[in-house]
Amino acid sequence: MWFRNLLVYRLTQNVPFDVETLEAALAAKPARPCASQETSTYGFVAPFGKGADAPLVHASQGFLLIATRKEERILPSSVVKDALKEKVDEIEAEQMRKVYKKERDQLKDDIVQAFLPRAFIRKSGTFAAIDAERGLVLVNSASPRKAEDLLSTLREAIGSLPVRPLTVKVAPSATLTDWVKTQKAADDFFVLDECELRDTHEDGGVVRCKRQDLTSDEIQQHLEAGKQVTQLSLAWQDKLSFVLDDKTVIKRLRFEELLQEQAEQDGGDDALAQQDASFVLMMLTLREFLPALFEALGGEEIPQGI
């Protein structure tokens, strides 16, 4: 149980997350298979374990873990388009008349409904951790849309969820650019070997570097020409590495082997105990890391009126 991406949300009000109440609320919105005429379904699943008895809320040392699953029927637009064209051609040839938009739309709906039961089903899941004591909700995704799907469904389940994306006072791209330009990051942070440089002008160029010495003259020349660092790979202490972008999205988060080995020792031989130990150690590490990161980026921005 190690998150690979991270979108961080701030609770703007104190929310009393009672485990039993939350469990009952999530049980009212369970994940379920798509019915034959449904394009997608979305609901909560047990983050650990399987079966009807597995809890939908995993609680450990004050941290909560929840998970959602989305099922969607995959119906390629090209298949629908080809079938529609074939049907329209058939009608126009047999009835000697033109098929207009309203009828086309109805034919398209009929084709979709006919094809849906035979469409492939794709499943995907999203995890979120709640640190109520620190007022944070952490979503294991780099996609704001997927995160919002989870948060809005959680909001529907519990009635209210006052959260906003956590933002910082200084534009992240300005800080990241400064770190590469000066070849020195904030304390405990280390610049690695990957970045994205973007021209600030409209329709400007983009340079992506991997396994590159970011102290090289080539990189410095791009910065002198006015490009900004919009994505940068970093390490924090000896505990984790990640890629940070200019929207404060944390991608490719990787916890170092030392932490993973510690979790294995703490969890012992039991699979669920292993997962719990990994989750707790991850959350304790993030409790240290996230405040340090946001302070290094100029401090958390608190919107007026909150």
pLDDT tens sequence for the chain (306 residues):
799 999 999 999 988 899 999 999 999 999 999 888 888 999 999 999 777 789 999 999 999 999 999 999 988 888 889 988 888 888 889 888 998 999 889 999 888 888 888 888 899 999 999 999 999 999 999 999 999 999 999 999 999 999 999 999 999 999 999 999 988 899 999 999 999 999 877 677 888 889 888 888 888 888 888 899 999 999 999 999 999 999 999 999 999 888 888 878 877 778 888 899 999 999 999 999 999 999 999 999 987 655
Which residues, in sequence order, are CB contacts of 65 under 8 Å at separation 6+?
Answer: 1, 47, 48, 57, 58, 59, 127, 128, 129, 130, 279
Place of tokens 């669920």: 272
Closest CA to 72 of 143, 5, 3, 149: 149
Longest dimension (CA), the chain: 76
Question: Which residues does 187 contact at the CB level (< 8 Å), separation at least 6?
Answer: 296
What pLDDT is stored for residue 216 in this prediction?
87
Closest CA to 132 of 17, 264, 292, 299: 17
Q: Using CA of residue 162, residue 159, residue 283, residue 143, what is the dihedral sign?
A: negative
Whole-number CA gyration radius for the chain: 24
Nearest of 148, 198, 202 to residue 174 by alpha carbon: 198
CA–CA–CA angle 123, 285, 152 (5° rounding): 40
DSSP-H helix ranges across the chain: 19-27, 77-95, 101-115, 144-158, 172-182, 217-224, 257-267, 271-296
pTM of structure: 0.86
pLDDT the model gives residue 258: 81
Phi, psi dihedral angles at 303 (to 5 degrees): -60, 150
CA distance 170 to 300: 9
Query: How far is residue 37's CA from residue 115's CA, in Å, rounded to a whole number?
Result: 9
